[in-house]
Chain A
Amino acid sequence: MSDVKEGAPPPLEAEPEALTEAAATRAELAVAPEIVAGSLGEYLRAWVARIKAGESGVLPVIIGLIVIAVIFQSQNANFLTAGNLVNLLVQGAAITLLGLGEVFALLLGEIDLSIGFVAGVAGVIAAQLVAFPHNWPWWAAVGVAILVTAVIGLVQGTIITRLGLPSFVVTLAGLLGFQGVMLMMVGQGGTVPIASDVINDFANGNMTVGAGWVVTALLILGYAALTWWRDQRRRASGLVAPPASLTLLKIAAVAVAGVALVLICNANRGLLVPIQGVPWVVLIVLGVLAAWSVLLGRTRFGRYVYAIGGNAEATRRSGVNLARIRTAAFILCSLTAGIAGIVYASRLRSVSTNLDGGTLVLYAVAAAVIGGTSLFGGRGKPPHSGLCGNVIAAIANGMGLLGMAAATQLIVTALVLLAAVTIDAVARRGRTPTGMH
């Protein structure tokens, strides 16, 4: 309305052309470079153009990690030692796993606030089942704990989808309720120690030096073979595929990351007795990450999760049973939280009433969102959220090393989360093409 008098609009006949040109540029930038690039040079050019336009993908996360590392290392020389880096990986594991669970809810455009205390409940169940009166074997205790979290997901998911209640409210009730359940189960003592060495070793045990190398080599070789074979087959049949040089670059990056990880973990980080080797929890996280990536990226279920997040009505008209897919996503979200809870308890060798599920779930959401998972649904990938669980852990760990007050830590974490959500919202606005409702 005000633009009628001031800031006169451009002449009408000029407008459509300018609009289509802007739309064309935007359309160009919305396409991932690996889809259209014919060569590595083209790919890099498209990539730089996207970064200039604010479509930076995973880059801010990596820059953020470097900045965090530089700041903390300059303040405390212990930050980049092998011991602390491995410690960081183990601390980050629970948040990473919770983030991987939260991805299922976020992709639907929903949220699950209960997973922090659902994780706590899983930890208590596992700890109590292996303890004195029950004396269950570790695998049965872990299995039952995860099964219970799956049932929790089923109940919450059913209430949300069948009764049509907002997930925010239902899982907020879950956040309160399962904190109560956890406190009740922990009981008087305030702490349940874990009596199983196997469960304690999930986070505290390491592979032998040799085993670490063998497992890593096998994983890298497997990844390289699968990636190369798939891209080569697609290139051969003329389908959309990245150029061979890009495939090789991806494989090389994974190999370098894997070797660096093993080198760091295999360095002796013990003070009195030698401690070295890749923590088992790294394998657990990688396993869950791989399984959920395949599930979301390569199966019908995963495709429908993304589709519902993008346009639920269109998905329904395509004959997809929305309630079933949504409920299954909430089950997987809760179940992943159960795994996270057992890992969390394993690191502390106990579960106590100090477990702060409220903060944990917010860290999980932060990890997922910083990793590019949209709060509005339909966008995001598990590996990126995995990387970002470690960003959150790095911030907490570094500030702890610097001896910062809890108050400062909370404020800094809040600012990082706020920045990430802002980037998400701005990127989303830039992505919306003209002519859309």
Chain B
Amino acid sequence: MADGSGAGAVDPGALLSLGDIDKNFGPVQALTGVNLDVPAAQVTALLGDNGAGKSVLVKIISGIHAPDGGQIHWEGRAVHFRTPKDATALGINTVFQDLALCDNLDIVQNMFLGRERRQVGLLLDEDDMEKAAAATLASLSVTTVRSIRQPVASLSGGQRQSVAVARAVMWNSKLVIMDEPTAALGVAQTRMVLDLIKRLADKGLAVLVISHNLNDVFEVADRVAVLYLGRLVAQGPAAGFDRQSVVELMTTGASSRVVAASQAAAAGLEG
């Protein structure tokens, strides 16, 4: 694909830049000309009503769907994802809403699933994996689990989310995408996960959070991007939005209350 056309809109400082992304499924236009920047060391919240195209956009970023048009820039370079492995190789890891954990396996086994370390020979190096898993959990300050050898089935919802996040960040992750991370959680568990999200950004990772919960969004997000019927109608620093403007954007695609900066961003000119 020609990279020239949309290059002017790309913010060179962003870790991930999407330019003019189109995606259609047969006659259904799921995404139209989406420009989105995801900078490192910040939490970007992706908002939108049901059917706005959030999931499709996430699947494009994580390599599950290929876009029909537009460019993806990663660290300033144009990239094309053919499979999810291409995205993972660059350091993009997605925590899906169902977490994709095996309940019967323990925490260490889940964190290394598909990437087990082996000793010389064919046997698994359990000691090494357990140390690495413990170190990752400690670096994320996940300390509430009783033993990292307990099966995931015995964990609370927040702990399961933490394990899924720890698994995602373990592999030189630079961007972690989280789909509705607090949807099924209680108050205390939500707090735990929101703290974890902030810590990821503090560690220098880019975090893209999809959420319906505006309380959570305004608590953790540094930046906000709103999708409406497949178009990105606003994006910018979270300070430029308030609850009412976000709701208006999500439901009507426009808001009289949005400050100038974010409207400029919606046109892909931010920077």
User: A residues bordering B, Cβ < 8 Å?
Assistant: 16, 20, 23, 26-28, 30-32, 35-36, 233-234, 237, 239-240, 294, 298-300, 303, 306-307, 309-311, 313-315, 317-320, 378-379, 431-433, 435-437
Q: Are B100 and A311 in contact (CB under 8 A)?
A: yes
Is residue B105 contacting chain A, with contact meaning CB distance below 8 A?
A: yes
- Note all chain A residues with C-beta closer than 8 A to B98: 313, 437
Query: Do B154 and A30 touch (CB < 8 A)?
Result: yes
Query: Are B114 and A435 interface neighbours, CB within 8 A?
Result: no
Known contacts A31-B146, A31-B147, A240-B130, A310 near B104 by CB under 8 Å: yes
* Contact in complex: B101, A314 (CB < 8 Å): yes
**In the complex the two chains form, is A318's CB within 8 Å of B114's CB?**
yes
Are A237's CB and B127's CB within 8 A? yes
A379 to B153, CA, bound (A): 12
CB-based contact A436/B131 at 8 Å: no
Q: Give A249 to B110 CA distance when docked, in angstroms.
A: 30
Given contacts A299-B122, A300-B118, contact A30 B104 (CB under 8 A): no
Instruction: Beyond the given A299-B122, A435-B156, please list 17 additional residue pairs across the A-B interface where CB-CB is below 8 A.
Output: A31-B151, A32-B150, A35-B147, A240-B148, A240-B149, A294-B123, A300-B122, A300-B124, A303-B105, A307-B102, A307-B109, A310-B105, A311-B100, A314-B100, A317-B96, A318-B115, A320-B114
Closest to A433 in B: B153
When C-beta atoms are compared, the residue in chain B nearest to A24 turns out to be B156
- CB neighbours (8 Å) of A239 from chain B are 127, 130-131
| Residues of chain B with a CB closer than 8 A to A240's CB | 130, 147-149
Instruction: Closest B residue to A314 by CB, please name it.
Output: B100
Residue of A nearest to B154 (CB): A30
Q: Decide yes or no whether B242 CB sits under 8 A from chain A.
A: no
Q: Is B214 an interface residue (CB 8 A)?
A: no
Do the beta carbons of B155 and A27 come within 8 Å of each other?
yes
Contact partner, A313, options B100, B118, B148, Cβ 8 Å: B100
Q: Which of B117-141 contact A (CB under 8 A)?
A: 118, 122-124, 126-127, 130-131
**Neighbouring B residues of A319 by C-beta, 8 Å:** 85, 114-115
Instruction: Tell me if B157 counts as interface (CB < 8 A to partner A).
Output: yes
A and B contact pairs by CB, cutoff 8 A, 14 listed? A31-B154, A32-B150, A35-B147, A36-B150, A303-B109, A309-B104, A310-B105, A311-B100, A315-B113, A315-B114, A318-B114, A319-B114, A433-B154, A433-B155
Question: Chain A: which residue is nearest B116 at the CB level?
Answer: A300
Residue of A237, A299, A320 with most partner-chain B CB within 10 A? A299
Q: How far is the CB of A116 from chain B (nearest CB, A)?
A: 28
Closest chain A residue to B127 by CB distance?
Answer: A239
B156 contacts A27, CB within 8 Å? yes
In the complex, chain B residues whose CB is within 8 Å of the CB of A294: 123
With beta carbons under 8 angstroms apart, the residue of B113, B115, B148 that contacts A307 is B113
Given contacts A307-B113, A311-B100, A314-B113, contact A30 B157 (CB under 8 A): no
User: Which residues of B approach A to under 8 Å, CB–CB?
Assistant: 84-85, 96, 98-105, 109, 113-116, 118, 122-124, 126-127, 130-131, 146-151, 153-157, 184, 186
Residue of A nearest to B101 (CB): A314
In the complex, the answer to whether A310 meets B102 with C-beta atoms within 8 Å is: yes
- Chain A residue nearest in CB terms to B122: A299
Q: A27-B155, A30-B154, A433-B153 are in contact. Are A315 and B124 (CB under 8 A)?
A: no
Contact, CB under 8 Å: A436 / B186: no
Q: Is A378 within 8 A of B104, CB to CB?
A: yes
Instruction: Output the nearest chain A residue to B99 by Cβ-Cβ distance.
Output: A314
Given A16-B186, A435-B184: A378 and B148 within 8 A (CB)?
A: no
How distant is the Cα of A294 from the Cα of B121 in the complex, in angstroms?
13
User: B102 — which chain A residues lie within 8 A by C-beta?
Assistant: 306-307, 310-311, 314-315, 378
Contact A35–B149 (Cβ < 8 Å): yes
Given the interface contacts A20-B186, A319-B114, does A30 sit within 8 Å of B151 by beta carbon? yes
Given the complex, which residues of B lie within 8 Å of A36, measured CB to CB? 146-147, 150
A432 touches B153 (CB 8 A): yes
Scoring B109, B116, B150 by chain A CB atoms within 10 A of each residue's CB, the highest score goes to B150
Smallest Cβ distance from A430 to chain B, in angstroms? Answer: 11
User: Would B113 and A318 count as touching, CB distance under 8 A?
Assistant: yes
In the complex, what distance in Å separates the CA atom of A35 from the CA atom of B130?
A: 13
**Partner among A30, A300, A303, A437 whose Cβ is within 8 Å of the Cβ of B150:** A30
Could you tell me if A317 and B150 are in contact, using CB atoms closer than 8 angstroms? no
> A310 near B150 (CB under 8 angstroms)?
no
Q: Are A436 and B114 in contact (CB under 8 A)?
A: no
Q: Write the chain B residue with the least CB distance to A23.
A: B156
Q: Which residue of B lies closest to A297 (CB)?
A: B124
Give chain A nearest CB distance to B171 CB in angstroms: 11
Output the least CB separation between A38 and chain B (Å): 11
**Beta-carbon contact of B124 and A299 below 8 Å:** yes
Which 9 A-B residue pairs are closest in the complex by CB-CB distance?
A318-B114, A310-B102, A30-B154, A314-B100, A310-B104, A378-B104, A240-B149, A31-B150, A27-B154
Q: A residues within 8 A CB of B116?
A: 300, 303
The minimal Cβ–Cβ distance linking A246 to chain B, given in whole angstroms, is 14
Complex contacts, B153 vs chain A, CB 8 Å = 30, 431-433, 436
A237 to B130, CA, bound (A): 11
Cα-based distance from A234 to B131 in the complex (angstroms): 10
In the complex, which residues of chain A have a beta carbon less than 8 angstroms from the beta carbon of B122?
299-300
Taken together as a complex, chains A and B put the C-alpha atoms of A319 and B151 apart, in Å, by: 21
**A314 CA to B110 CA, complexed, in Å:** 10
Residue of B nearest to A298 (CB): B123
Q: Please, which residue of chain B has its CB at the minimum distance from the CB of A308?
A: B102
Whether A436 pairs with B130 at a CB distance below 8 angstroms is: no
Min Cβ gap B55→A in Å is 15
Chain A residues with Cβ under 8 A from B99's Cβ?
314
Q: Give the shortest distance, in Å, between A74 (CB) and chain B (any CB).
A: 40
Q: Do B184 and A306 touch (CB < 8 A)?
A: no
Report B-chain residues with C-beta under 8 Å of the C-beta of A303: 105, 109, 113, 116, 124
A26 CB contacts on chain B under 8 angstroms = 154
**Assembled-state Cα–Cα distance A32/B151 (Å):** 9
Q: A436 with B156: in contact, given A35-B149, A307-B113, A319-B114 (CB under 8 Å)? A: no
Shortest distance from the beta carbon of A360 to any chain B beta carbon, whole Å? 28
